[in-house]
Structure 1
Amino acid sequence: MEVERQADVPDIPRAFWRRPGVWLAVGVVLVVVAAAISVPLLLRAAERCADGVTRTETGECVGVTDGGYAFAPELAGVQGLIRAENESVLATGKEFVSIALMVPMTLTEQDSIPVEWVRHHLQGAYVAQHRANHDAATGDRPLVRLLLANPGSALARWEPVVAELERRRAAPDHLVAVAGIGLSLATSRDAMARLSAAKIPMFGSTLTADDLGDIDGLLRMAPTNAAQARAAAVHVKAGARTALLIQDDTEAELYPRTLAESFSAAFADADHRFTGQTEFFDSRLSGVGNTFLQMIPNICTARPDVVYFAGRGEQLLVLVAQLVERNCKDHRIRIMTGDDLSAVAFPGDLARRAADAGVEVLFTALAHPDAWREAAAEFDPAATYYLRDAVCTVCFPVLFPDDSLDDASAIMAYDAVLTAVRTARLAGVPPDRRMSTEDLLQVRNRLHGEYSVAGASGRLSFDERGSPTAKVVPIMRVQPDGTARFAHLAKS
Structure 2
Amino acid sequence: MAARWWTWLREDVWEIRFRRYAALLLAAVLVAGTAWAVVTYVGRQPSCAPGVARLDGGDCVGVSTTAYDFGQRRFADVVEAVYRENDRLKSGGYVTVALFEPFTASDPDSVDDTLHELQGAYLAQYRANHDATGETPQIRLVLANTGRDGSYWPRVVDRLTQMTEGADRLRAVTGIGLSTDNNRAAVRELTHRGIPVVGSSITADSLANGADGKDPYPGLARVAPTNSDSARALASFARVSGGRALLVYDKPGDPYTRTLQSAFEKLVAGSPYQAQPFTPPVDRTQEGTTANQFRQITQLVCDTPKTTDTILFAGRHTQLRQFVNALGARGCMDHRLTVLTGDEGSYLNGDKRLDWKALTRNLSVRYTALAHPDAWKKETARTGGSAADAQELDGLIARGAKQPVGPVGPVDLADGQLTIAYDAMRLAVQGMREATPTGDAVPALTDVVNEWAFMKGSHRVDGASGWICLDVHGNPYDKAVPIVELTPDGGARFVRIAWPEGRPPAKECLPPA
| TM-score category of the 2 structures, normalised to the smaller one | 0.7 to 0.9
TM-score by length of 2: 0.80
CA deviations on 1:11-58 (whole Å, 9 max, x unpaired) are xxxxxxxxxxxxxxxxx9xxx9xx99x997984553112221111121
2:224 aligned residue: 222
Q: CA deviation at 1:67?
A: 3.6
Residue type at the aligned position of 2:192: A
Residues 233, 266 of structure 1: 8 Å contact kept: yes
Residue type at the aligned position of 1:230: R
Q: CA deviation at 1:408?
A: 1.2
Asked if residue 442 in structure 1 is aligned to residue 450 in structure 2, the reply is: yes
In structure 2, what is the Cα distance between the partners aligned to 1:394 and 1:103?
A: 22
2:17 aligned residue: none
Q: CA deviation at 1:399?
A: 4.5
CA deviations on 1:127-176 (whole Å, 9 max, x unpaired) are 00010011236x61111111111111121121222222112222322111
Structure 2 residue matching 1:124: 3-state secondary structure: helix
Within a 5 Å distance, the mapping from 1:101-140 to structure 2 comes to 101-108=99-106, 111=107, 113-136=109-132, 140=135
Residue type at the aligned position of 1:277: Q
Residues 181, 254 of structure 2: 8 Å contact kept: no
2:197 aligned residue: 202
Asked if residue 100 in structure 1 is aligned to residue 102 in structure 2, the reply is: no
In the alignment, structure 1 segments of 5+ residues that lack a partner are: 1-27
Choose from 330, 337, 345 the match for 1:333.
337
In structure 2, what is the Cα distance between the partners aligned to 1:66 and 1:444?
A: 27
Residues 387, 395 of structure 1: 8 Å contact kept: no
Choose from 173, 176, 193 the match for 1:181.
176
CA, structure 1 residues 49+465, in 2 after alignment: closer, same or farther (shift >3 Å)?
same
Residues 51, 65 of structure 2: 8 Å contact kept: no
CA deviations on 1:369-392 (whole Å, 9 max, x unpaired) are 110211154423453234223895
CA, structure 1 residues 66+253, in 2 after alignment: closer, same or farther (shift >3 Å)?
closer
Segment drifting more, 282-291 vs 198-207? 282-291
Residue type at the aligned position of 1:127: L
Residues 116, 417 of structure 2: 8 Å contact kept: yes
Asked if residue 404 in structure 1 is aligned to residue 412 in structure 2, the reply is: yes
Q: CA deviation at 1:398?
A: 8.1
In structure 2, what is the Cα distance between the partners aligned to 1:39 and 1:170?
A: 36
1:280 aligned residue: 277
CA, structure 1 residues 392+77, in 2 after alignment: closer, same or farther (shift >3 Å)?
closer
Q: CA deviation at 1:89?
A: 1.7
Structure 1 residue matching 2:412: 3-state secondary structure: coil
CA, structure 1 residues 234+275, in 2 after alignment: closer, same or farther (shift >3 Å)?
farther
TM-score by length of 1: 0.83
Residues 250, 277 of structure 2: 8 Å contact kept: yes
2:376 aligned residue: 372
In structure 2, what is the Cα distance between the partners aligned to 1:251 and 1:437?
A: 37
CA deviations on 1:455-492 (whole Å, 9 max, x unpaired) are 11111112233221101111110011221111111112
In structure 2, what is the Cα distance between the partners aligned to 1:317 and 1:432?
A: 52
Asked if residue 312 in structure 1 is aligned to residue 316 in structure 2, the reply is: yes
2:159 aligned residue: 164
Segment drifting more, 338-347 vs 140-149? 338-347
In the alignment, structure 2 segments of 5+ residues that lack a partner are: 1-27, 210-215, 283-287, 501-513
CA, structure 1 residues 117+463, in 2 after alignment: closer, same or farther (shift >3 Å)?
same
Q: CA deviation at 1:254?
A: 4.2
Residues 101, 144 of structure 2: 8 Å contact kept: yes
Residues 180, 256 of structure 2: 8 Å contact kept: no
2:48 aligned residue: 49
CA, structure 1 residues 400+145, in 2 after alignment: closer, same or farther (shift >3 Å)?
closer
2:390 aligned residue: 384
Q: Greater Rg, structure 1 or structure 2?
A: 1
Asked if residue 153 in structure 1 is aligned to residue 148 in structure 2, the reply is: yes
The size of the alignment, in residue pairs, is 450
CA, structure 1 residues 479+445, in 2 after alignment: closer, same or farther (shift >3 Å)?
same
Task: Give the superposed CA RMSD.
Answer: 3.0
Choose from 324, 328, 332 the match for 1:324.
328
CA, structure 1 residues 257+428, in 2 after alignment: closer, same or farther (shift >3 Å)?
closer
Q: Percentage identity across aligned positions?
A: 36
CA, structure 1 residues 60+351, in 2 after alignment: closer, same or farther (shift >3 Å)?
same
Residues 242, 306 of structure 1: 8 Å contact kept: no
In structure 1, what is the Cα distance between the partners aligned to 2:55 and 2:406?
A: 37
CA, structure 1 residues 433+120, in 2 after alignment: closer, same or farther (shift >3 Å)?
closer
CA, structure 1 residues 487+252, in 2 after alignment: closer, same or farther (shift >3 Å)?
closer
Residue type at the aligned position of 1:244: A
In structure 2, what is the Cα distance between the partners aligned to 1:82 and 1:475?
A: 33
Within a 5 Å distance, the mapping from 1:410-449 to structure 2 comes to 410-432=418-440, 434-449=442-457
Residue type at the aligned position of 1:317: R
Structure 1 residue matching 2:56: 3-state secondary structure: coil
In structure 1, what is the Cα distance between the partners aligned to 2:222 and 2:440?
A: 32
Asked if residue 258 in structure 1 is aligned to residue 259 in structure 2, the reply is: yes
In structure 1, what is the Cα distance between the partners aligned to 2:143 and 2:443?
A: 20
Residue type at the aligned position of 1:294: Q
2:293 aligned residue: 291
Residues 386, 394 of structure 1: 8 Å contact kept: no
Structure 1 residue matching 2:277: 3-state secondary structure: strand
1:246 aligned residue: 247
